[in-house]
């Protein structure tokens, strides 16, 4: 196999209370990436999308992640990448993780799965670090493993894939820019023991909910007393979206990653569409352009579209 075309899913990280440790993969939207393995060393990148991202591999997140893999791989091979990004950078839907993860997963397929998933997360984190200023894997892990994942530790890396509940996910992406690095800089450096206790109770509740498929428990555990209060000011409409979606039957939800996207879970498809309508009305009234997605959790992560 010399060539492969893959789709790489958007991801929702944090899952409200699990800052930097929880995430899930979505069925949609997805980036599309084609990789061709070359006999000569080198990384060549072409973007066929509208985002004006750098094609120089030393500045491109896919290139940086792939170079981390090639620095470890002993044979001199190269890759030509053609990338069609559909996950907008800065959306809070794991755009940078998709760029980094797609490159290393695609290359690994062509290298006959030489590397483990954990090793791929390590390589991809080199790219992700450029986007947010620090290493974190809560978007990368679900992208690479699929489903819902827990990052118990980064050093040493310890990723726990978890059961995925059968829930619909409605996402609104208000078209405002929130830089991950800035959304991290405004976070409190110290927190009270009371808030820490509330937060880890909710993380534990959420994980118990995933394992027991207890949807009401998942819903009432989606509470963040530390990160979301600090970031709420960056996202106009956040409180209204959460309130109105809950009134219309959502299970729960909140900021996706560092924002500005907001996600809401629901149990029934018709509720997921009703929630989308609420989100649309709120951002239309605020005069902020937006995109919405109604989708489900993607248990597989990256998918192969074709290979030759
Ligand atoms: N866990 C990260 C954050 C996700 O909230 O800053 C952003 O990519």
Tell which residue, 293, 296, 302, has the closest CA to residue 8. Answer: 302
Phi, psi angles (nearest 5°) of residue 57? -60, -20
Q: Closest Cα to atom 3, ligand 1: which residue?
A: 258
How far is C-alpha 126 from the geometric centre of its chain's CA atoms?
Answer: 16
Angle between helices 61-72 and 117-132 (to 10 degrees): 140
pLDDT tens, per residue, the chain with 308 residues: 899 999 999 999 999 999 999 999 999 999 999 999 999 999 999 999 999 999 999 999 999 999 999 999 988 999 999 999 999 999 999 999 999 999 999 999 999 999 999 999 999 999 888 877 788 899 999 999 999 999 999 999 999 999 999 999 999 999 998 888 889 999 999 999 999 999 999 999 999 999 999 999 999 999 999 999 999 999 999 999 999 999 999 999 999 999 999 999 999 999 999 999 999 999 999 999 999 999 999 999 999 999 98
Length of the chain: 308
Query: Measured from the CB, is residue 132 less than 6 Å from ligand 1?
Result: yes
Closest atom of ligand 1 relative to the 97 alpha carbon: 8
CB-CB contact of 253 with 140 (8 Å): no
Q: Closest Cα to atom 6, ligand 1: which residue?
A: 258
Closest atom of ligand 1 relative to the 131 alpha carbon: 8
């Amino acid at each position: 196999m010399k060539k492969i075309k893959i789709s790489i899913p958007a991801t929702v990280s944090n899952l409200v209370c699990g800052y930097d440790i929880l995430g899930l993969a979505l069925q949609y939207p997805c980036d599309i990436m084609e990789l061709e393995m070359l006999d000569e060393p080198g990384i060549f990148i072409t973007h066929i999308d509208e985002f004006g991202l750098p094609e120089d591999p030393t500045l491109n997140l896919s290139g940086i992640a792939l170079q981390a893999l090639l620095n470890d791989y002993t044979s001199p091979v190269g890759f030509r990448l053609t990338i069609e990004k559909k996950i907008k950078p800065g959306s809070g839907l794991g755009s940078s993780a998709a760029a980094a993860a797609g490159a290393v997963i695609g290359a690994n397929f062509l290298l006959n799965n030489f590397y483990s998933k954990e090793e791929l997360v390590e390589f991809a984190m080199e790219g992700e670090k450029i986007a947010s200023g620090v290493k974190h894997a809560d978007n990368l892990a679900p992208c690479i493993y699929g489903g819902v994942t827990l990052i118990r530790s980064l050093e040493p890396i310890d990723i726990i894939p978890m059961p995925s509940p059968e829930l619909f996910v409605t996402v609104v992406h208000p078209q405002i820019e929130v830089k991950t690095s800035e959304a991290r800089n405004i976070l409190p450096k110290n927190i009270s023991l009371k808030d820490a206790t509330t937060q880890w109770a909710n993380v534990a509740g959420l994980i118990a909910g995933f394992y027991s498929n207890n949807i009401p428990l998942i819903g009432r555990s989606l509470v963040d007393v530390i990160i979301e209060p600090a970031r709420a000011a960056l996202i106009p409409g956040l409180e209204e979206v959460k309130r109105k979606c809950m009134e219309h039957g959502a299970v729960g939800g909140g900021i996706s990653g560092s924002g500005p996207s907001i996600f809401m879970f629901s149990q029934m498809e018709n509720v997921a569409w009703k929630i989308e309508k609420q989100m649309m009305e709120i951002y239309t009234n605020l005069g902020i352009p937006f995109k919405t997605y109604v989708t489900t959790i993607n248990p597989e992560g990256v998918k192969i579209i074709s290979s030759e």
